Amino acid sequence: MRSYGQYCSIARALDLVGDRWTLLLVRELLLRGPSRYTDLKNGLPGVAANLLATRLRELEQMGLVRREDAPPPVATQVYELTEDGAALEPVLKALGLWGMRYMNEEHAGDAFQASWLAYVPAWFTNDADPAGPPAAIQLVADDEHAVIELGDGSVRARAGRTDHPDLTLVGPARAVLGVLLAKIDLQRARALGLTVKGRRDLLGRLRPAKGLSEAPRP
């Protein structure tokens, strides 16, 4: 493990997780829970197989990831975060919140997955009407599907579909996420290719987290 050789907590943290792909690997384990090697490889488009194996081995050695044998029918080894590894969740949330200011443009060739679509409302919005009835919002962004579930004062999200959504948003990722986080209005989102079906008022229940208002609008 390379070290900055500085008696500084930031430097010590970067000694452990500052290498390329490391924090994205932690992201996948936070979102997926215990995962097979192939799950992690599929969740990190562009990572070389040997580099992923190296990062996993390093995280194990540092005590941030553990490897265990999964019971049947999986019957293979799975990786999961240790307590110290899981403690990186607020770090990832803070980075994601800060990084929203650079999400105003989609770059050609960028990969995009449903789990990345789902964590945004789960991490960065709150239910503005905690006493409101349960509701489901279907998201379809760049052919990736995710569901937001409102109820009991919480915002939950997952990759996948729901049979009876109260609201459906379909369009480019920039338009879908922009509307969810109140960074763009519906008129602008429609100009970007968004289609909306169902109860638009549910968008008002998604209150962006503190800090998102500091990011510039597209």
Burial of 138 (0-12, 13-18, 19+ CB in 10 A): buried
pLDDT tens digits, 95-142: 999 998 888 877 888 999 999 999 999 999 999 999 999 999 999 999
Are 179 and 129 part of one and the same domain? yes
Are 44 and 131 part of one and the same domain? no
Q: What is the pTM of this model?
A: 0.89
CA angle 166, 112, 35 (to 5 degrees): 95
Q: Determine the structural domain holding residue 63 and report its residue range.
A: 9-87
Q: Specify if 200 maps to a domain.
A: yes
Distances (CA, A) of 33 to 79, 96, 217: 8, 19, 33
Q: What's the CA gap between 172 and 36, in Å, rounded?
A: 30
pLDDT tens digits, 13-70: 999 999 999 999 999 999 999 999 999 999 999 999 999 999 999 999 999 999 998 8
Domain count for the chain, please give it.
2
Are 132 and 209 part of one and the same domain? yes
CATH number at residue 58: 1.10.10.10
Q: Specify if 1 maps to a domain.
A: no
